[in-house]
Structure formats: structure tokens, C-alpha cells
Amino acid sequence: MVLAGAYLWIVAAHVIFVIFWMAGLFMLPRYLVYHQEALVAGRGDEAAIWIEREAKIRSIILTPAMIAVWVLGLTLATVGQHWGEGWLHAKLLFVLLLSGYHGWAVGYARRLARGVMRLDARRLRMINEVPALMATVIVVLVFVKPF
């Protein structure tokens, strides 16, 4: 396969975009906490600034990085012939869940932009930890390959 010689370059690019995506997934939920606090306190001008920041992080970091992670990851699975390995299937499940979390955070940001708050501040802060937990599981699956 043509890409076999570029395998390590693809791995490097995949890891770089994973870092970008995870950085965005750590930042956006924190932005949501601050945005919601501004709404609760009646600081509309500050809330408007958070709406703008959330839109920028989504369009500049989060979505492009997630797309690159998926494209590069699927390429690695194909080039490396990993499709029959159990750890890859488990990893893909967690990456799919992380992508769902990404979608939830984007949706919550859009609801906050309309002034709709469905979670209290404590619960929103707890949800902030989801990407770290999922990233931990994914890293273990990739490097330890328990099955």
C-alpha cells in the first residue's frame, strides 16, 4: 500500500490532532461554565462574549481537529491492518462516545446562546471531566492493547 511508508508520519499527525481536539474538549465545557454563570448573574454583555468565544473554538479548533482525528485514525487502522483487533473496536467505541460528547457540548453551547440552561453549575463542572476519563481509556487501549 502506498501509505505504508508514511505510517509513522500519519501516526504523528493523528496524535497532533488528538492533542488539538482534546484541548478544545477541555476548553469548551469550561467556557460553558463561565457562559452559564454570566447568564445566571444577568451579565448579558459578558454572555455575548462567551458566545463568540465558543463559536471560534468550535470552528477553529474542535471540529477541524475531530475530522482530522477520524480521517487519520481510520487511515491508520487500514494501513496498519488493525481492523481485526479487539482493542481497536473498543477504542473506536470510546472515540465515538467522545465525538458524541463533542456534539453534546456544541449543542449545549447553542442552547446557552438562546438562554436555555438545562444543567446546574455543579453538574456542568462534573461533565467537564468526561474527556479526561475517555482519553485515559483510549490511551490504555492503544498502548497496552489489553485484548
Rounded to whole angstroms, the Cα distance separating 135 from 147 reads 18
Is 14 annotated in some ligand binding site? Answer: yes
- Cβ neighbours, 10 Å, residue 119: 16
Is 89 annotated in some ligand binding site? Answer: no
Query: Angle 143-21-60 (CA atoms, 0-180°, nearest 5)?
Result: 160
Rounded to whole angstroms, the Cα distance separating 95 from 18 reads 10
Rounded to whole angstroms, the Cα distance separating 114 from 96 reads 27
Closest CA to 67 of 18, 33, 105, 28: 18
Binding residues for heme: 14, 91
Binding residues: 14, 91
